[in-house]
Homo-oligomer: A and B are copies of this chain.
Amino acid sequence: MERMGGEVVWEGRIGKVRVDRFRYDDGEEAEREIVEHPGSAGVVAHDGETLYLVRQPRDPVNDPALLELPAGKLDEEGEAPLDTAKRELAEEIGKGARSWQHITSFYTSPGFTDEECHLFIATNLYDEQADPDENERIEIVAVPLSDLDPVIRDCRDSKTLVGLLWLRASLNR
């Protein structure tokens, strides 16, 4: 598969929409629309007893307050995903962590966007100052780790499902 070229057809704050032309190995050519995204990072943060999640209004989906991992977009300047994860944990939860482990990275919807989401587990937590500008509509939700199964059952967000199912598998290992 060879990329023949592309053009930006729309540009906004969430990114650009690009139309790319491709030639497949069998010679056939095709066009594909792609929503460009800088990538994102999310954090499964727990202290062995309590898991720290956030609730926030999400305009695109008709869900008043989705339960999610603390997470955010990579800075446009090509921020390292671990730095994004540390920044979001501090801004949204008001915590730092002494132990960080990368668990997986995945494409959220590879049929139409290049968004790659990087997930980390953060443990050995300590208090940091939350950023009041960033989290005025974010509610911190502290969940007992013993409630992991019902939280997973009610979860409606891809990165949060992946992170909590991964945590569940590692705790039961």
Q: Using CB atoms and an 8 Å cutoff, list the residues of chain A in contact with chain B.
A: 1, 3, 9-10, 12-15, 17, 19-20, 22, 24, 30, 32-35, 37, 40, 57-64, 66, 68, 73, 104-117, 137, 153, 155-159, 161-162, 165-166, 168-169, 172
Q: Hey, which chain B residues are within 8 Å of A19, CB to CB?
A: 12
Instruction: Judge whether B106 and A158 touch: CB under 8 Å.
Output: yes
Do the beta carbons of B104 and A161 come within 8 Å of each other? yes
The answer to whether A109 and B113 touch (CB under 8 A), given A10-B9, A10-B17, A165-B169, is yes
With A3-B59, A63-B110, A168-B169 given, name 17 new contacts (CB 8 A). A9-B10, A12-B19, A13-B33, A17-B17, A35-B112, A37-B109, A40-B109, A60-B107, A63-B107, A66-B110, A104-B153, A106-B158, A106-B161, A109-B115, A117-B158, A165-B165, A169-B169
